[in-house]
Amino acid sequence: MHTTIIITFGLILLALMLFIGEKIGFSRETLTYSFVVLWLALTLINGAVGMVNAGQPLSTELVVGSAVFGVPVAALVLFMVLTTET
DSSP character string of 22-80: HHHT--HHHHHHHHHHHHHHHHHHHHHHHHHTS---HHHHHHHHHHHHHHHHHHHHHHH
User: Band of the pLDDT at 86, cuts 50, 70, 90?
Assistant: low
16-75 residue pLDDT tens: 999 999 999 999 999 999 999 999 999 999 999 999 998 889 999 999 999 999 999 999
C-beta separation of 58 from 51 below 8 A: yes
- Number of other residues whose CB lies within 10 A of the CB of residue 69: 21
Q: pTM value?
A: 0.90
Q: How far apart are CA 15 and CA 46, in angstroms?
A: 20
